[in-house]
Amino acid sequence: MSIVVNLDLVMVKKKMSSTELANRLGITMSNLSILKNNKAKAIRFSTLNEICKALDCQPGDILEYVEEEEDPRD
């Protein structure tokens, strides 16, 4: 996937634990882990809004576009 989630980096910069963020967002640790580990296929704008509010950051601090490398077998 070309979109990378840098949530873990922002959390470290803001000194916020996964437990604290999950509690602030009202989501499970499992769902937060899916986001942090780039396993999510989508994110609701409302969730992104709450993450940005909790971490006092911008969406671009969390989401990054990275060009995918082409498979040489193609």
CATH code of residue 23: 1.10.260.40
Query: For residue 34, what are the domain limits?
Result: 3-65
Is 58 part of a structural domain of the chain? Answer: yes
Is 33 part of a structural domain of the chain? Answer: yes
Domain count, the chain: 1
pLDDT in the model for residue 32? 95
pLDDT in the model for residue 71? 65
Buried b (16+ CB within 10 A) or exposed e, 49-67: ebbbebbebeeebbeeeee
Kindly report the pTM of this predicted structure: 0.84
Q: What is the pLDDT along the chain (74 residues), one digit of tens a residue?
A: 589 999 999 999 999 999 999 999 999 999 999 999 999 999 999 999 999 999 999 999 999 999 887 766 76
Is 72 part of a structural domain of the chain? Answer: no
